[in-house]
Structure 1
Amino acid sequence: MVYALLADAAMVVHFAFLAYLVCGGFLVWRWPKMIWPHLAAAAYGLGIAVIGWPCPLTWLEEWARARAGQEGLDPGGFISHYLTGVVYPAEHLPRVQLAVAVVVVLSWIGAWFARRRARRRPRSPSSTPH
């Protein structure tokens, strides 16, 4: 039971990471310092998708599911098991990856414009007691 919970927790964290990878750049619009963890997440996601780096969350989920006596993930890993062929057809994977990249880049461009606009805005006078 503990291994099944660990596998499910790895799956949930994996989905959270993917959501952050896709949408985290929009957090930078409000909190500019969030660019650094998002850049790291995007670089790692790119490394997994393009270079084929191993994902520790996939490994953890596979390991825990095997010990829980459950069926493992598809050979392609987390994305092919939970998303490709489930959320979108397998033949659209390259388009989905491109769409994710476009959303990330657009979020960073929007963050750059938001930061630029914030720098141009006059600051309100400090409220000091008289």
Structure 2
Amino acid sequence: MIYRLLADGMMILHGAFLLFFVIGGFLAWKWRRVIWAHLAVGLWNITIVLLDFECPVTGVEKHWMRKGGEEPYAGGYIKHYLDGTIWPAGYTWLAEIVGFALLVISYIGLYFVSRHSRRTREDSVESRT
């Protein structure tokens, strides 16, 4: 029972990790320090996609499934849980492009939001003097 809960917890954590990959850059528009964690997540995902290896988080989930007496699913987390559910089966390549495009768009937006905030602060300081 405990191993199944651990496997389920790892599955939820993995999903949160992927969700953060997609929206974390936008969260940084409001909370700037988030960008450092998001950069790490982005680099991690780029590495996994380019080098095409199984995410260790998936391995941990499968380990807990085995310990709980369950047969782990074949393939990776994305193929098992998302491909054919969140997007049409076989279009993970397109989901990856969209995910990385959102990362780039969020960083471009962060640049402009930061620049606007900086100008607003500078204007505020100048108006006080």
Per the normalisation by structure 2, the TM-score is 0.89
1:80-116 deviations in whole A, cap 9, x for unaligned? 1101122222321111110111111101111100000
1:6 aligns with 2:6: yes
Amino acid at match of 1:43: L
Partner Cα distance (2:125, 2:27) in 1: 24
Q: Distance in 1 between matches of 2:67 and 2:107?
A: 41
Partner of 1:128: none
- Cα RMSD (Å) of the superposition? 1.5
CA–CA separation in structure 2 for the residues paired with 1:46 and 1:53: 11
Q: What is the percent sequence identity of the aligned residues?
A: 37
Higher relative contact order (CA 8 A, sep 6+): 1
Aligned equivalents of 1:117, 1:63: Cα separation in 2: 48
Q: Distance in 2 between matches of 1:97 and 1:29?
A: 22
SS at match of 2:74: coil
Residue in 1 aligned with 2:21? 21
Correspondence for 1:44: 44
Q: Which amino acid aligns with 2:11?
A: M
What residue ranges of structure 1 are gaps of 5+ in the alignment?
A: 126-130
Aligned residues: 124
